[in-house]
Amino acid sequence: MRTILAGLMLAAAMTGGAARAQAIEDPEANVVDALVVSAKLPGPAWWRVSDGDTTIYVLGVPSALPKGMAWDRSVLERRLDGASVLLTPPVWQAGLTDIPAMLRLRGQLKDDGDWIARSPALAARTQRAWSAVDPKNADAWRKWKPAFVALQLNNKANGEAQLKVSEPDRTISDLARKRRVKSRPAAVHKAMPMLKTLVREHSEAAGLTCLSETLDATEAGPAPIRAAADAWAKGRVKDALAGPRSAERCELLMPGVVDLKRQLIEDEVQALADLLKTPGHAVAYFPLRALVAENGVLDKLRARGITVRTPAEG
């Protein structure tokens, strides 16, 4: 679902608009050092949110993992046993009636190539990167606007690097299902209102900056992503957070997405706070950086006076 959201935002972004300087406002740029600690237990890092009679074990997850990457699931399996629920990130829904509008939107992403003449250095980088991941269709990118080029290039590079954007989410959900633990999203949002906002308000500069960000990550190759994934699997939180964030930064360039990111954090905070009303224990997983960011999920819970224990405490 995170991948679908990113794709929709990028796909909606470049439907027109005048170019202007575009800075990136990043509400998750800074992290709380006290929360960024290595795990005591084997496998990925867990935090614990608790009150008098409830404990919620919270796992921070990356946006993707290399295909077939092994990670220790023993702590996850143990904590799923007897859990009241598996709380997952917010989800975005679109109905069948929204499909025609989405298809029309995609059609508006065709481009006459003017941006290539205006940004020759960026176009040359794009040609090299695209040729490396799709040599049979080396010029296919030229018919699309920059933001959609960035989306496709990112997807192709992920495929070349054998990154699975469905992981570790799918494995977590499968293990919960086997233990008959029901999953529940922190919130449910409709996709189309967001897309309509993105169509109305956009800038050409956002697409160009997004493409540049994507090229930075593509040119660096898969090694930084794999290193961050390996650190995540071994509970080294600081190193896991050091991975490239080009896709996230692209999202942040789109109109309304910064506020949306903050809303998702509020959704997760409230869902955890509400879950504390149910005695026993539960399991949750949310994006790692959103958990440990300043004014992120765990920071906001602590501000409410809720007890948060770090991975160093086991």
What DSSP line would sit under 45-114, residue for residue?
Answer: -EEEEE-SSEEEEEEEE-S-EETT-----HHHHHHHTT-S-EEE--EEE--GGGHHHHHHHHHTTB--SH
Contact 11, 106 (CB under 8 A): yes
Does 51 score more than 90 pLDDT? yes
For 287-299, the pLDDT digits (tens) are 999 999 999 999 9
For 70-89, the pLDDT digits (tens) are 999 999 999 999 999 999 99
Q: Return the pLDDT at 61.
A: 97
Q: Which residue has the higher pLDDT, 138 or 18?
A: 138
Q: Return the pLDDT at 146.
A: 87
Task: Kindly report the average pLDDT of the chain as a whole number.
Answer: 86
Q: Give start and end residues of each alpha helix (H) in the chain.
A: 2-13, 74-80, 99-107, 114-118, 120-133, 146-160, 169-178, 191-200, 204-220, 223-233, 237-240, 246-253, 257-275, 288-292, 297-303
Q: For residue 194, which of 106, 254, 269 has the smallest C-alpha distance? A: 254
Q: Return the pLDDT at 266.
A: 97
Ordered by start, the domain boundaries in the chain are 2-313
The arithmetic mean of pLDDT across residues 246-264, rounded, is 85
Query: What pLDDT band is residue 95 in, cutting at 50, 70 and 90?
Result: low
Query: What pLDDT band is residue 11 in, cutting at 50, 70 and 90?
Result: very low
Q: Return the pLDDT at 82.
A: 97
Q: Return the pLDDT at 17.
A: 36
Buried b (16+ CB within 10 A) or exposed e, 190-221: ebbebbebbbeebbbbbbbbbbbbbbebbeee
Q: Which residue has the higher pLDDT, 249 or 166?
A: 166
Could you tell me which residues come within 8 angstroms of residue 164 by beta carbon, excluding any fewer than 6 positions away?
64, 65, 66, 67
Does 60 score more than 70 pLDDT? yes
For 154-186, the pLDDT digits (tens) are 889 888 889 998 999 999 999 999 999 999 999
How far apart, in whole angstroms, are the C-alpha atoms of residue 292 and residue 78?
24
Q: Return the pLDDT at 151.
A: 84
Least confident of 57-71, 216-230, 251-265, 298-312: 251-265
Q: Return the pLDDT at 67.
A: 93
The arithmetic mean of pLDDT across residues 92-104, rounded, is 66
Contact 276, 56 (CB under 8 A): yes
How far apart, in whole angstroms, are the C-alpha atoms of residue 221 and residue 203?
28
Q: Return the pLDDT at 273.
A: 97
The arithmetic mean of pLDDT across residues 223-227, rounded, is 93
The arithmetic mean of pLDDT across residues 44-66, rounded, is 96
Q: Which residue has the higher pLDDT, 16 or 248?
A: 248
Q: Return the pLDDT at 132.
A: 92
The arithmetic mean of pLDDT across residues 181-210, rounded, is 78
How far apart, in whole angstroms, are the C-alpha atoms of residue 48 and residue 194?
33
Residue 70 CB burial class (10 angstroms; 0-12, 13-18, ≥19): exposed
Q: For residue 156, which of 107, 76, 215, 230 has the smallest C-alpha distance? A: 215
The maximal CA–CA distance of the chain, rounded, in angstroms, is 64
284: three-class secondary structure by DSSP: strand
Does 42 score more than 80 pLDDT? yes
Distance of CA 55 to the CA centre of its chain: 26
Least confident of 54-58, 95-99, 208-212, 259-263: 95-99
Q: Which residue has the higher pLDDT, 143 or 226?
A: 226
Q: Return the pLDDT at 257.
A: 83
